[in-house]
Structure 1
Amino acid sequence: MVAYAAETAAGGHESFWVTPEFWVLVAFVLLIALAGRKVVRTITAGLDSRAETIRARVEEAEKLRGDAQELLASYQRKQHEAVKEADEIVEKAREEAARLAERAAADLERSLKRREQLAMDRIAQAETSAVEQVRGLAVNVALEATRRVLTDNLPQDKADGLVDDAIKELPEKLH
């Protein structure tokens, strides 16, 4: 450089491409250009790879988000169906309880009517039995009274005949 400066100062003009500095500059620019291409390709490939990885992750995240939303919607539908089914079960249980209560009331009513009828039948039977006993007793009393009246006022053979005739006619008159 000092030599170039001295020559230039002395008035000599050498071409600039003849100087070693020019060729160093050219070599440096070529080196940077060739190496830069590879570096740019490598950097570009790395960035493209990174962008593809990020794009794949974003797509996977979007897919997972969609799956999660579908799953959430599915669970919400199932929960809604479960609540609806539970409400239906409760309603059916209430209806069944009401039906069973009505049935129990009807069964109790029939049972009470049956018992009342049995009691009425027993009372009627007891009344019938009492009436028959009173009738029998009345017949016996009437027969005894008749026998006494007849035996006291009538001769014995005539009184016995009348009593026997009255006893024979008695069943026809009572029924």
Structure 2
Amino acid sequence: MKRLSLAFAAVVAASPALAASGPFFSLHNTNFVVLLAFLLFIGVLVYFKVPALLGGLLDKRADNILSDLDEARNLREEAQTLLASYERKQKEMQEQAARIVAGAKKEAEAAAEQAKEDLKVSIARRLQAAEDQIASAEANAVKEVRDRAITVAVAAARNVMAKNTSAEAVSASIDASIDEVSAKLH
């Protein structure tokens, strides 16, 4: 109410009615009539408690803003919680991926070692097969050389005997052999 009276005093002091001629408090003075209408309008507003309604609406709006701020704060906290959860899950997934990669490396190393061992066994088997083939070829070559040497020796002996023996000696030897065989058969 004190504010209202101060506002009234300010309106009256600043009005151009003070500069008008003639009596101010007359219903023929338009400035006075406007002042009365304004005061009546302010009075009606106060009577119907419009300032309280406006204050209530402003308080309600302030409460709505506060509740919106609280809701926004809660949503922010939930978002931070979700973010922390996703970051934790991402870290766990990265750790799991690292474990998978490490396991795959170990398996690859084991497979490489197994492949090396298999290769060594295969090489040893092939070397043994090659050595066996070489030994067989060597034995065949030795046998062939012996056979050839025997054939050459028999041919050489035949030639030597053919040169050193005469036809009469060969006939006598054949006759002696026949006699010896017939003696053994009887």
Q: Aligned to 1:144, which of 154, 159, 169?
A: 159
Amino acid in structure 2 at the alignment position of 1:147: A
State how far apart, in whole Å, the 2-side matches of 1:84 and 1:32 are. 79
SS of alignment partner, residue 155 of structure 1: helix
Deviation string, structure 1 residues 94-115 (Cα, Å, up to 9, x no partner): 1121111112222211111111
Give me the TM-score of the superposition, normalised by structure 2. 0.62
State how far apart, in whole Å, the 2-side matches of 1:161 and 1:104 are. 71
Residues 1:108 and 2:104 are matched in the alignment: no
Give me the TM-score of the superposition, normalised by structure 1. 0.65
State how far apart, in whole Å, the 1-side matches of 2:50 and 2:169 are. 174
Q: Aligned to 1:93, which of 108, 111, 122?
A: 108
Percent identity for Structure 1 against Structure 2: 12
Q: Aligned to 2:90, which of 75, 83, 88?
A: 75
Amino acid in structure 2 at the alignment position of 1:100: A
Deviation string, structure 1 residues 4-51 (Cα, Å, up to 9, x no partner): xxxxxxxxxxxxxxxxxxxxxxxx9xx499455324422321221111
State how far apart, in whole Å, the 2-side matches of 1:161 and 1:121 are. 46
Structure 1 unaligned regions, length at least 5: 1-27, 164-175
State how far apart, in whole Å, the 2-side matches of 1:32 and 1:82 are. 75
Structure 2 unaligned regions, length at least 5: 1-42, 178-186
Structure ranking higher on relative contact order (CA contacts 8 Å, 6+ apart):
1
